[in-house]
Amino acid sequence: MSRKEAKVKKFIFLVLLLSLLLYLSTNYVNAEDSNRNEVRANLSDGWSVVWGHNFTEGDWVEGLAAISASIATESPAPFLKWFDYKLTQNFKKISGSLPGVVVSDLERWVLESLDKKSIIRYKDLRIAAGFATYKRWQRVV
């Protein structure tokens, strides 16, 4: 077996394994099985919070598949494509809640807020970017 054939077989195995994980994770865990509402209520104290994409186990399985594809092809392109898609998806969702704000400005503000770990001000808008994490574990028997 050639090196290329071995890589293809390894890639196919990883895709099948990740597909199985995706199938299992979407069947056993629901967004309602988390402390998301409590976390969001605590974070919105005095703020109008705009939420991005809620990453689930399925998103992380897709990311692992993209990493596997990058390893198998020895190219960062599959992972970068997935990451760019998720980033674009987030900014579209967030900007949809902020009429009159263009995505390029939003991207700049979020990156600046994350970089400086501070509140960014634009006119009457205060931007504090961050990540909320939820407890989503549940026992499946």
CA–chain centroid gap for 19, Å, is: 18
- Cα separation, 4 vs 41, whole angstroms: 52
| Average of per-residue pLDDT values in the chain | 79
* DSSP run (H or E) holding 125: strand 125-127
**Does residue 69 lie within any of the structural domains?**
yes
Q: pLDDT tens digits for 52-71?
A: 888 777 888 888 889 988 88
- Res. 22: pLDDT tops 60: no
Query: Do 85 and 108 belong to one domain?
Result: no
Q: Are 60 and 22 in the same domain?
A: yes
125 and 71, same domain (yes or no): no
**Average of per-residue pLDDT across 22-42:** 67
* CA dist., res. 87 & res. 125, Å (int): 22
pLDDT confidence tier of residue 78, bands split at 50, 70 and 90: very high
Assess if residue 50 is contained within a domain.
no
Tell me, yes or no, whether 117 lies in a domain: yes
Using left for φ > 0, alpha for ψ between -120 and 50, and beta otherwise, residue 117 falls in left
Residue 17 shares a structural domain with residue 80: yes
Range of the domain at 66: 1-45+55-97
**Within-domain flag for 141:** no
Q: For residue 137, is it within any domain?
A: no
Query: Is residue 20 included in any domain, yes or no?
Result: yes
pLDDT for res 52? 81
Would the pLDDT of 29 be above 60?
A: no
Q: Are residues 59 and 89 in the same domain?
A: yes
Report the domain count for the chain.
2
Clarify whether residues 39 and 2 are in a common domain. yes
Residues 117 and 68 in one domain: no
Interval 33-48 mean pLDDT: 80
How many whole angstroms from its chain centre is CA 99?
A: 23
pLDDT for the residue numbered 49: 80
Res. 87 pLDDT band, cuts 50 70 90: confident
- pLDDT tier, 85 (very low <50, low <70, confident <90, very high otherwise): very high
